[in-house]
Structures are given as C-alpha cells and as structure tokens.
Amino acid sequence: MFKEYTTIREVAGPLLLVEQVEGATYEELVQITLPDGSHRRGKVLEVDGDRALIQLFEGAAGVDVEQSRVRFLGKGIELGVSLDMLGRVFDGIGNPIDDGPEILPEKRLDINGLPINPYAREFPREFIQTGISAIDGLNTLVRGQKLPIFSGSGLPHNRLAAQIARQAKVITGEQFAVVFGAMGITFEESQYFQDEFKRTGAIERAVLFLNLADDPAIERISTPRMTLTAAEYLAFEKDMHILVILTDMTNYCEALREVSAARKEIPGRRGYPGYLYTDLATIYERAGRIEGRNGSITLIPILTMPEDDKNHPIPDLTGYITEGQIVLSRQMHYQNIMPPIDVQQSLSRLRQKGVGPGRTREDHNDLFGQLYAAYAHGKHAQELAVILGEAALTEMDKLYFQFADTFEEVYIGQGEQTDRSIDETLDLSWKLLSVFPNMELKRIHKEFLEKYMTKFREKKEETITA
C-alpha cells in the first residue's frame, strides 16, 4: 500500500511543496487526488529532508492545499517497449494518439537512461544515406554520429526533418528505423508530420513521439527521453540501426528554463539554468555505438537559433557536445533553394569515417574537396563582381562565378521530393565539375579523373552528336 499525504504546504505555478514525506526519491512519479476525485500526475524534482518539490504534468488549477492528497508511486517515468511500437504515433509521454490499440510491452524501461560509457563506445563509422546531396556528398552522416541542424525562425527545418526521416536508409541492407521526437509543435505541424510519414509509407519503419505547444512543459522535458528510450531498445536489444530526429530542441530548452524559473534557481546565460550543458549532454550522449552490440543510434537534433545567433547558449552548447552542424541559410531560403543548406558554414567532423571504398565510393573524398574549393572560389568571384564589377573578373573567375550559381540551384536545391542515391550525388558532382579543364581539378587524383571524368565527357559528346 502506498501512503497518501495531505501535507501540501504551497502551490507555485506548476509546483507543489509537500512536507512530512518519507522515502521520496528524485524523479519519482506522483499521483495527486483532487477533492472531486480526479487525478493529476507529477514527478519529484527535489527532496530536502522530509520535504518534496513536485512538478505537475497537467498544471495546478483545481489543486486544493487542504483537501488534495498526494501519493508517491515508488518508480520513475517508464515507457513500455516492444517491436509493436514501429508504425505507431505517441504523445510526448508515450500514450498512443493514432487511434490504435495500447502497446503490449515486452518490458518497461525508465526513460532517464544513462549516457553511453566512453570506454564502451565504438567509433562511429559507415554511411547513412539521407538522399540529400548537400548532406551525403559534403557533410556525410555516419552511424553513431550526433549531427545537429542549426536553423532560424521561419526556415523550413521541419520540412527538412520530414524529408530526412522519409528518405534515410543504410545501403548495406541491414535493419533500419527512424525514431522521431517533436517538442512544442503546433497541431498543424503534428498533422503534417503524420501525413508525410503515412503518405510515403515511412510510418512502417518509424516511431513518432509528438508533443504539442499547449502540452505541459514537464511533458516537453520528457519527450526526448521517451524518444531515446525507444531508440535504445530497438538498437541495443533488437540490433537495429536507428536514426533519431529531435525537433525542436529550442522548445525543450525553453521548457527547462520555465521549470528552472518556477524552482527559483539562479539563472545562467540568457536566463537558462546553469546546468543546461549537462542536461543537453545527458540527451545527446545517449547516441552512438557500443562495443559488442550490432545496433547503433545516430542523432540529428534540430534547433532554431534565436535571432539567427550561433552564439546563443543553445546552439553554442550543442556545438560543444556534437560532431559538427548543418546550418540553414536564410538568404538561400529567400532564393527558393530547398533545402537551404549553407555548405560553407556546415561541417561533419566524422565525414571521412563514412566515405571511401566499401562505404560510399572511392572518389567521394576527392570530389568533396574539389566541390568545396570550386564553390568557395565561385562565391569569392561573386563578391569581387559586386565590388569591382564583372568586367574585372578573368574568364576563369567567370566560370567559377557561374559554377557557384549552378551548384546552388542543381546540387543543393534538389527540392524536398527528390531522393538521390549516393551514386547519383557523386555522378552529379562529376557533371558539375566537367565545365572545368583538368588542370583546375587539382584536388582529384589523376586515376579518378581518367576513370570517371573521361568516361563522363565521352558520354556527353555522344549525347551532343546524337
């Protein structure tokens, strides 16, 4: 039997202070019974002697200090997991919202899992294909990597998230699934994600956790942990390769700040709690590979940068923990380039571990260096043209100038319905670079020029002749 307490001493926003409590523990689930017999849920945020501070999930409206009863349930928030989760949609705390039956769990797991022990980590390797050239070709995603997307308010990061979730796959043919967690989204965005997954059939290999903007802040804090708990079960117990997408981490951090303010904690930068870095690390570091396990968790957290400021605490701290970033460009968005990925600002620090023979193709690394250099040269030529006029450019500068425009329109701006294989991306790279004489392609080994460029130019000449 659980003991019930009627010793609520204070209600402050979504927080309850209960006194004369015995044996309460941090993160323990709590049930509050209101005078009308209805129930509220909460969890223990802090224990100080015989006093417990409780965060309510549904808010404190209707809680009577004198008549409400509090029961401590002796366990943390748990998620019932099984393979039946695939193809299902849940709310932010794991309740089905797709009109399907309740999950019959194989086991119940505490959502507050632990980061992977660095000693047990296996280095990320092998390629994950997203079908997006700007990622696959230039900012390659590797199994076990943490690669965030830095966006700005109003940019199409949710459309990009849906595209990655639809198209992502491992080209080795192993079991693969997407676990998708959305925090603080609108009802329309929730419908969009569900419709996109169902329209393309991607729902069959996906698990969705959707937390709406009008749901309680405490639920928003639980959503990424629910998502990663499901991913850990599928990856490390069912030997699947899992891609976790979390959007929007900024909404998560805002909820964390709201709870911290309610607890009257001393604020850190921009009012966020001083433990924001640690809290984010407990989420991000649950992704990776573990020695002796066949599965893996690859993480793409998406966050919006307030005022497009990369030095804001959320992107700043995220950058310290993760291995690179994909940055979306507002200017490219205004030019109707989709996805508007700024490849010069973006970086995948583990790219080289996922490319090359046996992973993508032998010419991948050389093409990356040459494309990046040619695009940078072209952008520099465009800046010179603005200052000095196009007449001041050499013929080669003009060639690079035109290349930069074509590269953005064709290579980056592939559209959100185009799914390119890695071979198609690399072949497109050769096609774009074919406008330059071989003497300009200094970052590509001679044997690759002879094998691929010569072959491509022969095909091009045959097409012109025909």
Q: Is the pLDDT of residue 178 over 80?
A: yes
The angle at the Cα of 145, spanning 116 to 300, to the nearest 5 degrees, equals 105
**Among the listed residues 171, 233, 231, 243, the one whose alpha carbon sits nearest the alpha carbon of residue 202:** 243
Region 227-249: mean pLDDT is: 96
Which residue spans within 139-232 are E strands per DSSP?
141-142, 149-152, 176-185, 206-212
Residue 466: its pLDDT value, please? 34
Residue 56: its pLDDT value, please? 85
The answer, yes or no, to whether the previous bond of 216 is cis (omega within 30 of 0) is no
Region 82-95: mean pLDDT is: 93
Q: Is the pLDDT of residue 23 over 90?
A: no
Which residues partner with 327 through β-bridges? 150
Which region among 48-52, 298-302, 406-410 has the lowest average model confidence (pLDDT)? Answer: 48-52
Q: Is the pLDDT of residue 1 over 80?
A: no
- pLDDT tens-digit readout, 123-167: 998 999 999 999 999 999 999 999 999 999 999 999 999 999 999
Residue 457: its pLDDT value, please? 66
CATH architecture of 78-354: 3-Layer(aba) Sandwich (3.40)
- pLDDT tens-digit readout, 239-254: 999 999 999 999 999 9
As a whole number of angstroms, the distance between CA 104 and CA 101 comes to 9
Q: 78-354: same fold as 4-72?
A: no
pLDDT-derived band of residue 458, with 50, 70 and 90 as boundaries? low
Please report, for the chain, the start and end positions of each structural domain, with discontinuous segments joined by +: 4-72, 78-354, 364-465
Average pLDDT score over the chain: 91
- pLDDT tens-digit readout, 57-79: 877 777 888 888 999 988 888 89
Residue 258: its pLDDT value, please? 87
- pLDDT tens-digit readout, 410-443: 999 999 999 999 999 999 999 999 999 999 999 9
Residues 6 or more apart in contact with residue 167 via CB below 8 angstroms? 129, 130, 131, 132, 419
**Which residue bears the tokens 């071989």?**
438
Burial state string for 48-71 with b = 16 or more CB within 10 A and e = fewer than 16: eeeebbbbbbbebeebeeeebbbb
| Phi-psi region at 304: left, alpha or beta (left = phi > 0; alpha = psi -120 to 50) | beta
Give percent of the chain above pLDDT 90: 70
Residue 218: its pLDDT value, please? 78
**Which residue bears the tokens 């072949």?**
427
- pLDDT tens-digit readout, 283-310: 999 999 999 899 999 999 999 999 899 9
Residue 460: its pLDDT value, please? 56
Return the CATH class of domain 4-72: mainly beta
Max alpha carbon distance in the chain (Å)?
A: 90
DSSP string computed for 325-376: EEEB-HHHHHTT-SS-B-TTT-EETTGGGG-STTTS-TTHHHHHHHHHHHHH
Helix, strand, coil % (nearest 5) of the chain? 40, 25, 35
Start-to-end CA span in the chain (Å): 85
